[in-house]
Amino acid sequence: MLEDAARRRTRVELSEPVRARVRASRDVLERFVQEERVIYGVNTSMGGFVDHLVPVAQARRLQENLINAVATNVGAYLDDTTVRAIMLSRVVSLSRGNSAITPADLERLVEVYNAGIVPCVPEKGSLGTSGDLGGADGLRPTGSAGWPSQKRQSVAVPPSSSRPVRAEYRVCAAP
């Protein structure tokens, strides 16, 4: 089903119940941070360093360092349909409202998907407890290496975002 939707370049829209779940999840995380609760991977380090608290002011850097540390995928790039199916599965997963993603970041992923922008994701990489973190690096517009492509195009993605990001990408044929 995901592959068919990706192949047909089915447009994605987030429903109001999805938006409400995602916002509620994020609100819980933000409340817990304000209450100074200890939250694994948010204000603690990970793995063997779990006992090390990270100041809230450094939380974003912690997340970026995690992705950068596992962004080691190599090999040929996955084909466009596969990457679009991965992007779509990520939208479905994040729409459940369990991840505390910011609503703006989920909207950005949907906008990128709907615009036909296909990140270049290498086919081989490591698997972490949160999924394939190396491959996930390729799906984020702020990927550690940008979005490399054989057709080096550059754009602010997406223009409606409050935080435009320069990225390199491939563009699929219009839906």
Residue numbers annotated as active site: 40
How far apart, in whole angstroms, are the C-alpha atoms of residue 31 and residue 49?
24
φ, ψ of residue 85 to 5 degrees: the values are: -65, -40
φ, ψ of residue 157 to 5 degrees: the values are: -115, 130
How far apart, in whole angstroms, are the C-alpha atoms of residue 150 and residue 50?
40
> Nearest to residue 44, comparing CAs of 63, 64, 16, 29?
63
Side-chain-side CA neighbours of 34 within 13 Å: the count stands at: 6
Q: 70: alpha, beta or left, given left = phi > 0 and alpha = psi -120 to 50?
A: alpha
Q: Over the Cα atoms of the chain, what is R_g?
A: 17
